[in-house]
Amino acid sequence: MVGKDAIGRKFGPYVGTVDANRLRFFAKATGETRPEYLDSAAARAAGWRDIPAPPTYPFCLQMLDVADPLDWPKKLGIDIGRVLHGEQAFTYHGDLCAGDVLDFEVEVVDVYDKNSGALSFVVSTLSGRDPAGRLAVEGRQTMVVRNA
């Protein structure tokens, strides 16, 4: 079980780069066919700085650009084989496009149990800041840990 003492723990910073090739791959994997999600020139013609990142892409940055993407759950003693992805949401404070580099920090903001402790819910936030320190994106994720 994940204890309440995990609340307030912070992990990172982690550096993530929004890579054009990864964005193209993500677009193709999700069935996106609009040219601005596949081509830099088309993106700029559509008013973007470069290929835009889809709404859930910061989760990919957290997973792809970190030496061990499961570092922080492991530090909480979570057995990754017993984890389900519960939910996630993102708030953007501007556009996120190919070429952007963000520093991420994860913070555990809540832990609660259900079913007499059979399941632990770990709620974390993700803050992504640009090189000037401005908040670019915030995320909130719930991880469900099966304890029994």
Residue-range definition of the domain harbouring residue 87: 4-146
* Number of domains present in the structure of the chain: 1
Integer CA distances (angstroms), 95 to 12, 18, 26, 91, 146, in order: 23, 11, 17, 11, 36
pLDDT of residue 72: 87
10-residue block means of pLDDT along the chain (148 residues)?
93 91 93 95 97 88 78 89 92 95 95 94 95 95 92
pLDDT of residue 24: 95
pLDDT of residue 46: 97
pLDDT of residue 60: 83
pLDDT of residue 4: 94
pLDDT of residue 61: 81
Cβ-proximal residues to 98 (8 Å cutoff; 6+ apart), any chain: 18, 19, 20, 23, 40, 43, 50, 51, 53
pLDDT of residue 112: 96
Q: Which amino acid is at 125?
A: T
pLDDT of residue 82: 94
pLDDT of residue 47: 97
Q: What is the CATH number of the domain that holds 83?
A: 3.10.129.10
pLDDT digits (tens, 9 = 90+) for 78-91: 999 999 999 999 99
